[in-house]
Amino acid sequence: MISHPALNPHDSGVWQLVASIGNRFAVQGEFICGEKIDSGHINATYRATYRQRDGSDRRYIFQAINRNVFKDPYAVIANVECVTRHINSRVLRLKKDPRGQTLNLFPAHTGALWVADEHGDVWRCYNHIEGCVTHDIVANTRQAYQAARAFGSFQNLVSDLDPNSITVTIPDFHHTRKRFARLMEVAAADPLGRLAGVRAEFDFIRRREMHTGLLLDLVQAGGIPIRVTHNDTKINNVMIDAVTDVAVCVIDLDTVMPGLVLHDFGDLVRSATSPAAEDATDLSKVTMQMPMFEALVEGYLDAAGAFINDTEIEHLVHAGKLMTLEVGIRFLTDHLEGDVYFKTHRPGHNLDRCRTQLKLVACIEALEPAMNAIVDKVRRSKSG
């Protein structure tokens, strides 16, 4: 549970809460003000400003971890600490440019990297990365390139980190075969009698069962390795320099787990290539923007091409189709179950979300040869 998000961002209660939490961390300066950050749907996030002795201000981020999503918040924090420490070590050792910048956890006065409040919520403290902005929608190919380069850089920086050093905090997060099986179970039970109204969507997914296990089979055969991955590769998890418009680093590391880099790239394709909103009701607006896709491939291979293998590159397009299908499966499952996982704001909201994903799957299928040709062209340009 998280007891705090209901506070008005402008209430004095927010200041009192932020100051109280801040007093438990080893932050520097005198507390000046605090505010609630409303972006994000999982954790409760606040920004605090502290006045330094020289008169300058320094800002910090305080965040309460959502225990409904993350059953073991201490493992989440341990994962973040492991990854950020490793990235900082590599940046220092290799003298990389500012794209290697990362979030850093600040300790509590106890020495731990967290504090627990009287409600049982677990908090951590981050540095605030100044001079950066985030975007919710990919507006142009430059942003697509920068987002893909940022996630590729992240994967490159953790490519030598042992996946066994990271705890699985959400089991089977991208196990598409199990997601498919779960949909079949829910459809068979049809607890709310909704299956008849979604037969077209259900049949579309069922006809594509053969796609759900391809990457898993490649892992079993030794074709692609398990690596440390981000698992939430949306553009709003990329910090962009407000002046240069260059990606600085990726954020929201709570879902960092052992996984497949193809899942990360695939979800980036899913979330960045269509101009339509995820819950659009006009499916004619759902299209595959090929210039956006090419920018993603360019940015990703510029940063990640040094460590990924040929089999991974050969399945970049399949990964985009797979992750889009997987999210469509999840939305339809939740619709049939009664909208118990994803937040909804209108009747049929999850069904609308499902339909946009399935339309994008169909677009990818129609353009798959052309998309693979783009991957081949970009790969040749990098190797030549």
Q: Encoding tokens for residue 143?
A: 């942003």
Mean pLDDT on 240-259: 89
Enumerate residues 6+ apart whose C-beta is below 8 A from 349.
Answer: 279, 339, 342
Compute the Cα dihedral for 213, 219, 223, 226 and give only its sign.
positive
CATH second-level architecture of 141-383?
Alpha-Beta Complex (3.90)
What pLDDT is stored for residue 2 in this prediction? 40
Give the pLDDT of residue 41: 55
For the chain, counts of helices (H) and of strands (E): 11, 11
Question: Using the 8-state DSSP alphabet, how is residue 53 labeled?
Answer: T
- In angstroms, the CA 383 to CA 5 distance is 49
| Range ranked top by mean pLDDT from 101-110, 140-149, 198-207 | 198-207
* Angle at alpha carbon of residue 213, lines to 212 and 218, rounded to 5°: 140
The pTM of the full predicted model, rounded to 2 decimals, is 0.86
Instruction: Give residue limits of the domains in the chain.
Output: 12-71+105-128, 141-383
d(CA 214, CA 228): 20
Token pair in block for residue 171: 């089991």
CB 274 within 8 A of CB 360: yes
pLDDT, tens digit, 9 for 90 and up, residues 319-368: 999 999 999 999 999 999 999 888 888 999 999 999 999 999 999 999 99
Domain 12-71+105-128 and domain 141-383, same fold? Reply is no
From residue 116, how far is each of 65, 207, 218, 237, 382 by CA, in Å?
A: 10, 48, 42, 26, 49
Rounded CA separation 48/126 (Å):
11
Mean pLDDT of the 146-169 span: 94
Name the residue among 122, 83, 121 with its Cα closest to residue 104.
83
- Which CATH architecture best describes the domain 12-71+105-128? 2-Layer Sandwich (3.30)
Percentage of the chain beyond pLDDT 70 is 93
Give mean pLDDT, residues 48-54. Answer: 90
With the CA atoms of 92, 97, 98 and 102 taken in that order, what torsion angle do they form, in degrees rounded to the nearest 10?
A: -40
Asked whether residue 4 carries a pLDDT value surpassing 50, the answer given is no
Amino acid (one-letter) located at 1: M
Mean of pLDDT over the chain: 89
Q: What is the pLDDT of residues 61-71, one digit of tens each?
A: 998 988 877 88
Q: What per-residue confidence (pLDDT) applies to 93?
A: 61
Q: What is the pLDDT of residue 305?
A: 75
